[in-house]
A and B are shown apart, each in its own frame.
Chain A
Amino acid sequence: MLKKFLNTILQVGYLYLFALLGNLLAKWLHLPISGSIVGLFIVLCLLHFKVLKLSAVELGASFLMSEMLLFFIPSAVAIIQYKNEILQHGSQFLIVILLSTITVMVVTGLVAQYSIRRLANKKGEIGR
């Protein structure tokens, strides 16, 4: 139990280091993408070339991913700083965001589902 706990913390540390490395690279090379996505690609490469073992980061990654909503909370609390904008335009913002999010999800989901089924039919499989 304690060993698993310490291992998780250690692995979160590793992943943090890759994120920092990604940040540095993104800055030096003037990449338009963010450091954490650069870090993701670095880890993906290291796993692919077997430099990094899956077991060395898996525990930390699944911990971070399962508690990810926690890391969004402070940015969500930041909304209180924009009281004026929200009082003035809040309902407009909400309408745009809700309608647009539904539209995006419906289109992406239907396009993906349609293409998967078409591919499955071509190959004579049942699309699932």
Chain B
Amino acid sequence: MIAFICILLTVLVYYLSKQLYKKVRFAFLSPLLIAPCILSSMLVGFHIDYSDYDSGGRWLSNLLQPAVVGFAIPLYKFRKVMKKYAKIIAISMTAGVTIAIVSSGLFSHVVRLNDHYLLSLLPRSITTPIAMAVSVDIGGMPTMTAIFVIVTGISGLILGPMVIRYLHIQEKLAKGLLLGMGAHGAGTSKALEFGSEEGAAASLAMVLAAIFTLVFAPILTPLILL
């Protein structure tokens, strides 16, 4: 019963925050920032355990799996464009993944985080299940990584459009790649707001980022820990 109520409540809060966002279009009011704030204050206010909430929440999180499968459709539709720009995509993604891992490590050193947190931060820019797997592989804490992944998603939703605006990025492919690379699925959903071609590029970036990180992270980790 509580599971069902939690699903309903989450959908309702999401729906309302989405309506609000549509009206004001202010990046800091993204449903992914507002809705979790409202829901967690409700959990704290009504003394509901997260595990009880998640008995329902899990059903919604699970829908992320078919959503990722669904990214096959924009990829298929724009396969000719993707093929044409294959080399550019490979170069951009190699740069993106390397910078994602190295800069996470570097900034962690700068703010003096210990190695456990540093290692958990390294795979933060890719989709959750793979990020957690990489985290285990390089000796991080997978649950902390999952949190960093979601915070990255929220940050990317807000920062992505700003980066595009300030750098005057005009190519649809470049917009999609930076959103999918920087903020995984959350960035990809933002890219779809820009257009279907941007969405396709972001889906590809999300998938490639995950696969590249799987390979690059174990290689780069020892260098970062030096």
A residues adjacent to B (C-beta < 8 A): 12, 15-16, 18-19, 22-23, 32-37, 39-41, 43-44, 47-48, 54, 57-58, 60-62, 64-66, 68-82, 85, 89, 92-113, 115-117, 119, 127-128
A-side contacts of B192, CB under 8 Å? 65-66
- Residues 88-121 of chain B, each 1 if its beta carbon lies under 8 Å from chain A, else 0: 1101110110011001100110011100010001
Q: Are A101 and B64 in contact (CB under 8 A)?
A: no
Instruction: Give the shortest distance, in Å, between B180 (CB) and chain A (any CB).
Output: 9
Q: Are B70 and A101 in contact (CB under 8 A)?
A: no
Q: With contacts A108-B181, A117-B171 known, what are 19 further pairs, Cβ within 8 A?
A: A39-B65, A64-B67, A65-B199, A66-B189, A68-B186, A72-B186, A74-B10, A79-B147, A99-B103, A100-B121, A101-B125, A106-B163, A107-B99, A111-B92, A111-B95, A115-B92, A116-B173, A116-B174, A128-B170
Contact residues of A: prevailing secondary structure: helix
A79 and B61 in contact (CB under 8 A), knowing A18-B69, A107-B99, A108-B178?
A: no
Contact residues of B: prevailing secondary structure: helix
| Residue B133 interfacial (CB < 8 Å) | yes
Q: Are B104 and A105 in contact (CB under 8 A)?
A: no
